[in-house]
């Protein structure tokens, strides 16, 4: 397959008029500049996001209205992409200037299908900052995700061909869809190249998806996640890790 550009950056958004300017700016400020930005807005409310996007007047930016969930938006962006590599950034996150170029470079040098970096996790509600690794100490990325670790899509870059094989994010999952996708990628293409450097800022806000879900929907997501990955989860500690994570979500809703 011939690709028109080197990288496609997928940016899903919903009601992020105040934050999206910062996210787009961080992509445009990359040292590596052969990319397109596909902004996918479900526009359930008219919050002025489109006007913010138009203010950049950059021909690399493409704006779409599509979907009712972040997974649908990401999948739509991948379908419309023209780049050899696929990167993701949420509308409230930030990339450091070397993020995209460094991740693509290690993929090409190592002939691998995806890369992931350390990331700075910023909890806006609790006012905390912490550099996170994409794995638990002594564990692989896959096993860490199975045990409940989180790797945000903004910390990853994939070869486009990956999505031909795994068919994108599971739109039936309201949470853990990012962990599910990365596990499936690893099952098909192996562990990622890990950059031991925090190249992105990942923000957690009060209005997160998990904070809005009812216990029954959380349980549905856990049941489906376990069903999809039962063979891996049967090993000691994996299911217990997901149950503990679910209990934590329910406790925080009280």
- pLDDT value of residue 239: 65
- What SS3 class is residue 203? strand
The number of C-alpha atoms within 13 Å of 155 and in the hemisphere containing its C-beta is 28
Name the phi and psi angles at 198, rounded to 5. Answer: -80, 105
Model pTM score:
0.90
Q: What is the DSSP letter of 177?
A: H
Classify burial at 22, counting beta carbons within 10 Å of its beta carbon; exposed 0-12, middle 13-18, buried 19 or more. Answer: middle
Right CATH for 5-207 from 3.40.720.10, 3.40.50.300, 3.30.230.10, 3.90.550.10: 3.90.550.10
- What SS3 class is residue 253? helix
> Do 185 and 229 form a contact (C-beta atoms < 8 A)?
no
Nearest in space to 133 (alpha carbons), one of 109, 157, 117: 117
Q: What is the pLDDT of residues 9-32, one digit of tens each?
A: 999 998 888 899 999 999 999 999
Q: What is the pLDDT of residues 170-222, one digit of tens each?
A: 999 988 999 999 999 999 999 999 999 999 999 988 655 555 667 778 788 88
Nearest in space to 88 (alpha carbons), one of 169, 195, 206: 169
Largest Cα–Cα distance of the chain, in whole Å? 53
Q: Tokens 């203010």 sit at which residue?
A: 55
């Amino acid at each position: 397959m011939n690709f028109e550009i080197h990288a496609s950056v997928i940016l899903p958004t919903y009601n992020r008029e105040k934050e999206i300017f910062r996210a787009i700016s961080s992509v445009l400020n990359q040292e590596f500049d052969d990319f397109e930005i596909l902004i996918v807005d479900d526009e359930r409310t008219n919050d002025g996001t489109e006007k913010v996007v138009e203010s950049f007047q950059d021909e690399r930016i493409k704006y779409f209205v599509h979907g009712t969930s972040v997974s649908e938006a990401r999948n739509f962006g991948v379908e419309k992409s023209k780049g050899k590599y696929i990167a993701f950034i949420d509308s409230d996150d930030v990339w450091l200037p070397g993020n995209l170029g460094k991740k693509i470079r290690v993929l090409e040098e190592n002939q691998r299908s995806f890369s992931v970096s350390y990331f700075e996790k910023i909890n806006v509600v609790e006012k905390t900052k912490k550099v996170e690794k994409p794995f638990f100490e002594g564990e692989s990325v896959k096993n860490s995700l199975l045990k409940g670790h989180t790797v945000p899509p903004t910390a990853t870059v994939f070869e486009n061909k990956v999505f031909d094989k795994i068919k994108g994010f599971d739109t039936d999952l309201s949470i853990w869809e990012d962990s599910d996708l990365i596990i499936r990628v690893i099952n098909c293409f192996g562990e990622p190249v890990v950059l031991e450097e925090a190249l992105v800022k990942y923000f957690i806000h009060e209005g997160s998806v998990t904070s809005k879900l009812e216990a029954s929907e959380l349980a549905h997501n856990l049941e489906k996640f376990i069903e999809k990955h039962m063979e891996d989860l049967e090993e000691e500690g994996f299911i217990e890790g997901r149950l503990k994570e679910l209990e934590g979500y329910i406790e925080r809703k009280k």
